Structure 1
């Protein structure tokens, strides 16, 4: 299991606010037959109790690049409070479960490209004007 936390500090033009509409994740997985890999992300604004969580499951046998996109429906977008500067926190997690594979004879793993310092995760922002 590997966790990574990112604090996203977005420059917001005056009179506007934003929400994360989608996020693209990618990496590499070597999953033996019977193994399951999971990519999960939690999204929330600093100081806000509202959290959204999305996950994607990958089943072995897999020895290739993987990609997952978290997409938030328009009705479910959570915007930053207008006029307040808050960090948007994203906690990502990779988990591999041995399942029916034999971990004493095989090795399974997943990597996420964005954790190596070259941020390859793409975040899509939705913007809206704040009420006056």
Structure 2
């Protein structure tokens, strides 16, 4: 099976048509005062040189394209292949008096799991010194399909950036396969040959004005 490039797209505004609309509330910050000033990454799913970064001209989105982000399990497959991850550090500059949180993620990918194989896909984010919040989804075999769905965090689970100054957004994404049958095989990936599937992660961001 051949795989092509996938994209991890983070929306700086939840009004993007591809992501769920943000609830009405505080006005958004002036887009001209929001910018992406740096991105670093490392992990078994995004080794050095394997990620292309393409910010949009208005900095409302940026795209990370992966050469290979695939987890697999089964007879003859090395043990280390069952778990792949990518740690991302995103430096987003935004005006004082605002803070933001990630509240939704749109997943698109592909999974081919035999009976007895389970897959876990998760995306955890946090700000320095703050608690972690996690989007988490499980698939159980038999399961073979290109999937597309939205995962939304409950309001009480949201983690907000600190007020007063911009800070680093940390994201750890993971693909993990487990199996109760040593003869069963499975694969989960965000690198799918079917371009129509538009494999990607789209994060929705909710903004609000600081109250302190």
Query: d(CA) in 2 for partners of 1:36 and 1:30?
Result: 10
Ranked by relative contact order (alpha carbons within 8 Å, sequence separation 6 or more), the top structure is: 1
Q: Corresponding residue for 1:99?
A: 180
Query: TM-score under structure 2 normalisation?
Result: 0.52
Q: Cα RMSD between the aligned structures?
A: 2.4
Match of 2:156, SS state, is: helix
Match of 2:121, SS state, is: strand
Query: d(CA) in 1 for partners of 2:167 and 2:191?
Result: 26
CA deviation map 1:23-76 (0-9, x unaligned): 12221111111211111221111x224112232110111221123433122233
Q: Which runs of 5+ in 2 are unaligned?
A: 1-82, 193-197
Determine if the alignment matches structure 1 residue 27 to structure 2 residue 109. yes
Query: d(CA) in 2 for partners of 1:41 and 1:26?
Result: 13
* Counterpart selection for 2:205 from 119, 125, 131: 125
Structure 1 contact 42–92 (Cα < 8 Å) conserved: yes
Match of 2:208, SS state, is: strand
Q: Corresponding residue for 2:144?
A: 63
> 1:119: how far off?
8.0
Query: TM-score under structure 1 normalisation?
Result: 0.80
Determine if the alignment matches structure 1 residue 85 to structure 2 residue 163. no
Q: Corresponding residue for 2:187?
A: 109
Query: d(CA) in 2 for partners of 1:87 and 1:113?
Result: 27
Q: Which runs of 5+ in 1 are unaligned?
A: none
CA deviation map 1:103-123 (0-9, x unaligned): 4xxx31100249xxx982111
Structure 1 residue ranges, 4+ long, deviating more than 6 angstroms after superposition: none
